[in-house]
Amino acid sequence: MPHRRILLKLSGEALLGDAPCGIDPAVLNRIAAEVAEVLAAGTQIALVIGGGNIFRGAGLAGAGMDRVTADQMGMLATVMNALAMQDALERIEVPTRVMSALKINQVCEDYIRRRAVAHLDAGRVAIFAAGIGSPFFTTDSAASLRAIEIGADLLIKATKVDGIYSADPVTHPDAVLYPRLTYDQALRENLKVMDATAIVLCRDNQVPLRVMNIYEPGALVRAAAGEDIGSLVESEPAESEPKE
């Protein structure tokens, strides 16, 4: 396989499907089946799951809650989503470990990098929960950080649209898809790929980032197999010779 080890970032919203909040079991099961397919094809896969379908710290803080408490609730929401994904994977007999950046030992393991890598090498799916364990961060940043730590050769960000567009394709029908772009272009044009911290981490550590539509059946399997779908964010192309 072109990719030995990938990290998939799923937002909480990806699990929503048509449900108003929480998790749509049909969507959860379909994504779990695709993760199983990626693993069966020979690519190690780790997941970082967001919590936006349940709580986002910024939203709660906007309603008056203390921001740190709100972010802690957001991190706990990601643990719930991680447990749901573990359950869906284990129902189809995919060995899985949830590893949390917050200590919740009755529920799941702590995140320990060496152990995470050992799980992946043993053919298990590792699901990283609770972001990085600190407030004022997002699970996008956690995904970049964990991808770097475990030596993933690709970070896949699953979204609701086909890739990165010049503007929001839902509100701007004339927006164009960028098949390839650099980290700096994504930052400069504020393309809302991932938050800036996450993109800078990828840029500074040379982790290629593919953005694709998780609602398109089979897209995850194809992206993991190295197919050029969605948008790829990577380093600057080699500079051409300066003109005299």
CB of 1 to ligand UDP, least distance (A): 26
132 binds ligand UDP (CB under 6 A): yes
142 binds ligand UDP (CB under 6 A): yes
Report the residue from 5, 44, 51, 210 that binds ligand UDP according to the rule CB under 6 A.
Answer: 51
131 binds ligand UDP (CB under 6 A): yes
Report the residue from 31, 32, 50, 219 that binds ligand UDP according to the rule CB under 6 A.
Answer: 50
Q: Using the rule CB under 6 A, give the single segment among 138-146, 160-168, 198-206, 236-244 that binds ligand UDP.
A: 138-146
Q: Which residue has the tokens 């990283």?
A: 128
If binding means CB under 6 A, how many residues of this protein chain bind ligand UDP?
23
Between the alpha carbon of residue 166 and those of residues 147, 176, 183, 195, 198, the distances in Å are 26, 5, 14, 16, 19
DSSP the chain: ---SEEEEEE-GGGGTTT-SSS--HHHHHHHHHHHHHHHHTT-EEEEEE--TTT--HHHHHHTT--HHHHHHHHHHHHHHHHHHHHHHHHHTT--EEEEESS--TTTSEEP-HHHHHHHHHTTPEEEEESTTSSTT--HHHHHHHHHHHTT-SEEEEEESSSSEESS-TTT-TT--EESEEEHHHHHHTT--SS-HHHHHHHHHHT--EEEEETTSTTHHHHHHTT---SEEEEPPPPPPPPP-
Q: Take residue 98 and report the two structure tokens written for it.
A: 């949830």
Q: Take residue 239 and report the two structure tokens written for it.
A: 């500079």
The answer on whether 166 is annotated among ligand-binding residues is no
Report the residue from 3, 5, 11, 233 that binds ligand UDP according to the rule CB under 6 A.
Answer: 11
CB of 160 to ligand UDP, least distance (A): 12
CB of 98 to ligand UDP, least distance (A): 15
CB of 60 to ligand UDP, least distance (A): 8
CB of 23 to ligand UDP, least distance (A): 12
Q: Using the rule CB under 6 A, give the single segment among 8-16, 162-170, 173-181, 210-218 that binds ligand UDP.
A: 8-16
Nearer to ligand UDP among residue 56 and residue 203 (C-beta): 56
Q: Using the rule CB under 6 A, give the single segment among 19-27, 48-56, 86-94, 202-210 that binds ligand UDP.
A: 48-56
| Binding residues for ligand UDP (CB under 6 A) | 11-13, 50-52, 56-58, 71, 74-75, 77-78, 131-132, 134-135, 137-140, 142
